[in-house]
Amino acid sequence: MRALYVDSGMLARSFPATLNVRTKLALCVLSSLSAIVLSAPEALGVLVVLSAAYALSTRNLRGILIGYLLVGAMLGMSVLFIVLLSLIWPVLSEVEMKTLVAPFLRIMLMLNVVFGLALTSRIQSVLTALKSLRLPGFIYIPAAVMIRFIPTFASDFKQIRQALKIRGYPVHPWALIRHPLRSVRVLFVPLVFRALRSADDLAMAAELKAVGGSGGFTRMRQESFGGRDWAVLGVCVAAVLGAVLLQLPHGFGSGMH
């Protein structure tokens, strides 16, 4: 079962789908470590651009665009609240823009690599790769469920939006802002209940597949590293080293803030 219900032809043409799932997991690990260590917008920006090209190669442009818009909306709200608070507390006006932008660049970086994994990988392959690392069940099972939940939640949102359109409810952003109480009632409440139901379904599916048991998984087909995997890992390591060089003039003391 794939992590997302996609057309097989589109999946075959997707570049990340041709990579070994362990390669995509390695990209997620390297990106998360980079997001922790790096803080300079220049260093993070290089990785964000490369990861964006990687995410866009999944050919799921609509889902990625929605993710970008949500991150942009959060950034806009943060800037607005800082401006408003600076009128009350002038010391906040001294906050540098790079201090505000860096967290969102980290979010964009992780969003890109997780999309590349979640939208083009079979959940069974993800489980097998995580378990092969000898990780305890309380680590790899939640990780696999979170990856599987991303496309499930997107599918639930699409179904709810279509149902609202049929009933004549506008679902564009201005309507949600103009009628917040109605938006909570007709959109967000159904999303919460669908998310809870999806969580139950994923739990039952994991139990039926004996996930977390002592035995290993039986692989339907063997996956091995190829030249493309090594090339992608090489480019990723080179990009991280280049980002580290860009970070050196700024120091590494602020990476955790």
Give residue 168's pLDDT: 80
**Does the structure show a pLDDT above 60 at 32?**
yes
CA dist 131 to 30, 31, 91, 135, 205, Å? 19, 21, 49, 6, 17
**Does the structure show a pLDDT above 90 at 15?**
no
pLDDT grade for 127, boundaries at 50, 70 and 90: confident
Residues 130-177 have pLDDT tens digits of: 777 776 666 666 766 777 776 777 777 788 888 888 888 777 767 667
The answer to whether 7 and 107 have CB atoms below 8 angstroms apart is no
What mean pLDDT do residues 20-38 have? Answer: 89
> Is the model more confident about 27 or about 148?
27
* Residue 216 per-residue DSSP state: P
Nearest to 144 by CA among 127, 158, 132: 127
Assigned token pair, 125: 């392959």
Residues in the chain: 257
Residue 35 CA to residue 114 CA, distance in Å, equals 13
